Amino acid sequence: MTKRVRLREELSRQRTSLLTEWNFSLVPPSERASYADPADQASNDFEQDLTIQVRTRMIARLKRIERALQLTQTKSYGCCRQCRKAIPYARLTVQPDALFCVSCLARMERQHYGH
Ligand SMILES: [Zn+2]
């Protein structure tokens, strides 16, 4: 099995588990809202906010994985979008949807935080 095939499989696996989590998060919150206590209601609102945050993150992650899966069909997969150098395989095994190499990422973060 080539490295690329292995990374593709890892991406599909992560995609499947995200989709499973997603379905799980779709359990209607109303099932938990049957307690009429106002304090419970407040914590329920908080839980819903949290659910929205979690879902937003999941969608973002899912999009990155989908894009990476498409990229694996092209030559640019595994290359840094910034410096075009190959991203080390070790890094891709940890984060198969990585778009940047570690040094570019570090540089971008430094620029972002203004140091
Ligand atoms: Zn780079």
Determine the distance separating the centroid of ligand 1 and the alpha carbon of 79, expressed in angstroms.
Answer: 8
Alpha-carbon distance 104 to 110, whole Å? 10
pLDDT at 110: 93
DSSP 7-55: HHHHHHHHHHHHHHHHHHHTS-GGGTTT---HHHHHHHHHHHHHHHHHH
Q: What is the pLDDT of residue 105?
A: 94
pLDDT score for 9: 96
**Blockwise average pLDDT, block size 10, the chain, 115 residues:** 91 95 76 63 80 90 95 93 95 94 94 76
Q: How far does residue 80's CA lie from ligand 1's centre (Å)? A: 5
At 93 the three-state DSSP class reads helix
CA of 13 to the centre of ligand 1 (A): 26
pTM of the entire predicted model: 0.74
> Are 78 and 4 a contacting pair, CB within 8 Å?
yes
The CATH homologous superfamily for domain 3-112 is DksA, coiled-coil domain (1.20.120.910)
User: How remote is the CA of residue 101 from the centroid of ligand 1, in Å?
Assistant: 4
Residue at token pair 């540089």:
107
CA of 104 relative to ligand 1 center, distance in Å: 4
Question: Cα separations (Å) of 29 from 37, 39, 95?
Answer: 15, 16, 32
Terminal Cα-to-Cα distance of the chain (whole angstroms) = 43
Report the pLDDT value the prediction gives residue 29, as an integer from 0 to 100: 61
